[in-house]
């Protein structure tokens, strides 16, 4: 890879072509030649490059064209998300050939990077020429699932910030937003048939535990939710960028906001659920769903509306950190377990997950859950997000289940990114940029069949102490750039990775992030 292009994530190959390094210039005469299936990418290029360059990029063909094509040959060689980008070849100024529409789109992201950091600005930069080196880039992703999980429950992310994050994911060739929409501290999606979920469940009186620079040390009320139209807009905005939004409705634990809205969802024989409010602190919450038919029907109603809004093949049902104490103490839950022939509370948790596995499968979707869903027996069609390390993912993959690797030891972006007093993050774990860069999603020793079950990887952003966009930016960047390379690029083994080369390319990438207005953590350390 030619370092001068400073592409992130690194492509499979990028060669300067010809004996003398030449270049191509995009200017007022540049036209856009969009073949069938590439109209969406053309629209994006016109909007994004148009904003930065002021160039109109009208439709046209010929030597001055940026030509977008879907190519069967590229599909055969690189798959539907792969692409070949050629500049300065006869017939067009730039040729982006994708294996499918997504490949063309990822190729267009590379084109933006090749034009320099100013290509990410949103008003015309007029005092410069828009040149590209003569090059051929061949590229394809290592994994099909290249994700970011965003927790919008602990702190609500306003819609515009979600859309901006989708732009940032696309610029890094990431293609999944795992949308953690519900938790103890807030229910963030409007459900028409259960309006109190947002009327009551989307607001909390205060948040007690912030980082020390945070206004959350005072009792700041917090709330917000997405209407159905907001969700439609987010999903469509993501789709235009070849990103799938995977919704998560967390059950049977992490459910206090729902129980605060509808007390009958909880274990009413052991807790006064009518007295519960949306939880105002963090941790693992004891208030979990009661194992009744009514609760199943309630959540089927929730999922029906979720399926209407999200075309994602996968639907996440959570399943993490569900304490079993209330079920142990509740005579009703114990009677229910006997009735269902379940041996213990782990099996009761599995009963919830199996129910929704069958329910989703019958509707043509796939269930995915956190690795706790292995306890008490994994539902037949379930896929697993392996967060407590590799073990859950390995067990699931060896048993023939699909897996997304997101071990907290490597890719939890709520963990601090440097040791030291000044790092504005109360969580003690340190995951540096280099740690993320050296993360390997496929653990050694997996059988080839199990390795093929690793759909990919995602980084997780839990927002307990990230109360605004600037705080999220600081935690997510620059580590997302390293993560994108892990998820996209066919890197060598972790110990052999060229971190120095990556850091050198980051010099240019920081300037791209500057142009994009990202409040990343500066490489020299936290700001005063």
Which residues in this chain contact ligand TNX in the complex, by CB under 6 A? 320-321, 370, 387, 412, 414, 462, 464
Q: Could you give the residue ranges of the DSSP H alpha helices within 310-442?
A: 325-329, 331-340, 345-361, 391-398, 408-411, 433-437
Q: How far is CA 149 from CA 56, 87, 155, in A?
A: 36, 35, 14
The Cβ of residue 16 has, within 10 Å, a number of other Cβ atoms equal to 15
Nearest approach in angstroms of CB 513 to ligand TNX is 24
The size of the chain, in residues, is: 528
The token pair that represents 473 in the structure block:
């930016």
Write down the catalytic residue from 321, 408, 423, 440.
Answer: 321
Nearer to ligand TNX, 254 or 512 (CB): 254
C-alpha 155/C-alpha 225 separation (Å) is 10
Nearest approach in angstroms of CB 413 to ligand TNX is 9
What letter does residue 120 receive in the DSSP assignment?
G
Which is it for strands 222-223 and 244-251: parallel, antiparallel or unpaired? unpaired
Q: Is 33 left (phi over 0), alpha (psi -120 to 50) or beta?
A: beta
Nearest approach in angstroms of CB 215 to ligand TNX is 20
Residue with tokens 């020429």: 129
Nearer to ligand TNX, 321 or 498 (CB): 321
CA-based radius of gyration for the chain: 24
The token pair that represents 495 in the structure block:
């110990």
Nearer to ligand TNX, 150 or 337 (CB): 150
138 is catalytic: no
Which is it for strands 454-461 and 23-26: parallel, antiparallel or unpaired? unpaired
Nearest approach in angstroms of CB 370 to ligand TNX is 4
Residue with tokens 């392996």: 386
Nearer to ligand TNX, 464 or 485 (CB): 464
Nearer to ligand TNX, 175 or 386 (CB): 386
The token pair that represents 470 in the structure block:
């600037």
Nearest approach in angstroms of CB 361 to ligand TNX is 23
Nearer to ligand TNX, 7 or 317 (CB): 317
What letter does residue 226 receive in the DSSP assignment?
B
Nearer to ligand TNX, 209 or 237 (CB): 209
Nearest of 445, 486, 469 to residue 145 by alpha carbon:
486
Nearest approach in angstroms of CB 283 to ligand TNX is 8
Nearest approach in angstroms of CB 183 to ligand TNX is 7
* 143-181 core/surface letters (b: 16 or more CB in 10 A; e: else): bebbbbbbbbbbbbbebebbebbbbbbbbbbbbbbbbbb
C-alpha 151/C-alpha 153 separation (Å) is 6
Measured in degrees and rounded to the nearest 5, phi and psi for residue 334 equal -65, -40
The Cβ of residue 215 has, within 10 Å, a number of other Cβ atoms equal to 11
Distance of CA 502 to the CA centre of its chain: 22
C-alpha 86/C-alpha 73 separation (Å) is 15
Nearer to ligand TNX, 357 or 414 (CB): 414
Nearest approach in angstroms of CB 483 to ligand TNX is 16
Give the max Cα distance, the chain. 81
Catalytic residue numbers, as ranges? 321
């Amino acid at each position: 890879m030619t370092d001068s292009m400073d592409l992130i994530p690194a492509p499979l190959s990028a060669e300067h072509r010809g004996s003398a390094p030449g270049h191509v210039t995009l200017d007022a005469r540049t036209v856009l030649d969009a073949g069938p299936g590439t109209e969406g990418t053309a629209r994006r290029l016109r909007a994004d490059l148009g904003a930065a360059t002021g160039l109109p990029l009208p439709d046209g063909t010929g030597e001055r064209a940026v030509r977008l094509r879907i190519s069967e040959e590229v599909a055969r060689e690189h798959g539907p998300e792969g692409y070949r980008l050629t500049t300065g070849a006869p017939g067009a100024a730039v040729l982006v050939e994708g294996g499918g529409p997504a490949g063309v789109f990822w190729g267009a992201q590379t084109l933006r990077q090749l034009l320099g950091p100013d290509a990410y600005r949103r008003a015309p930069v007029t005092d410069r020429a828009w040149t590209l080196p003569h090059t051929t880039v061949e590229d394809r992703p290592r994994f099909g699932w290249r994700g970011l999980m965003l927790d919008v429950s602990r702190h609500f992310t306003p819609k515009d910030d979600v859309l901006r994050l989708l732009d940032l994911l696309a610029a890094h060739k990431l293609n999944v937003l795992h949308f953690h929409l519900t938790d103890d501290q807030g229910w963030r999606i409007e459900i028409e048939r259960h309006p109190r979920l947002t009327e009551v469940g989307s607001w909390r009186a205060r948040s007690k535990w912030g980082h020390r620079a945070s206004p959350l040390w005072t009792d700041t009320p917090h709330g917000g939710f997405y209407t159905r139209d907001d969700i439609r807009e987010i999903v469509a905005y993501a789709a235009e960028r070849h990103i799938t939004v995977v919704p998560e409705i967390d059950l049977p634990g992490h459910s206090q906001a729902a129980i605060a809205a509808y007390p009958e969802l909880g274990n009413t024989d052991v807790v006064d659920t009518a007295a519960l409010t949306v939880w105002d602190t963090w941790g693992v919450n004891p208030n979990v769903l009661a194992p009744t038919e009514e609760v199943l029907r309630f959540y089927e109603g929730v999922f029906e509306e979720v399926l209407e809004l999200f075309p994602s093949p996968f639907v996440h049902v959570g399943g993490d950190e569900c304490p079993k104490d209330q079920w142990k103490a509740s005579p009703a839950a114990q009677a229910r377990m006997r009735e269902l022939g379940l041996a213990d509370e782990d099996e009761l948790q599995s009963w919830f997950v199996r129910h929704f596995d069958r329910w989703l499968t019958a509707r043509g979707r796939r269930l995915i859950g956190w690795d706790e869903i292995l306890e008490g027996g994994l539902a037949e069609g379930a896929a697993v997000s392996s967060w407590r390390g590799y073990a859950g993912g390995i067990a699931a993959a060896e048993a023939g289940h699909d897996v997304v690797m997101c071990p907290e030891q490597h890719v939890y972006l709520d963990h601090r990114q440097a040791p030291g007093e000044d790092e504005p993050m109360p969580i003690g774990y340190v995951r540096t940029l280099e740690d993320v860069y050296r993360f390997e999603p496929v653990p050694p020793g997996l059988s080839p069949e199990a390795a093929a079950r690793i759909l990919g990887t995602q980084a997780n952003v839990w927002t307990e102490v990230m109360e605004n966009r600037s705080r999220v930016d600081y935690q997510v960047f620059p580590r997302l750039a390293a993560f994108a390379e892990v998820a996209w690029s066919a890197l060598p083994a972790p110990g052999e990775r060229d971190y120095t080369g990556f850091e050198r390319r980051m010099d240019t990438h920081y300037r791209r992030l500057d142009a994009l207005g990202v409040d990343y953590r500066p490489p020299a350390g936290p700001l005063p």
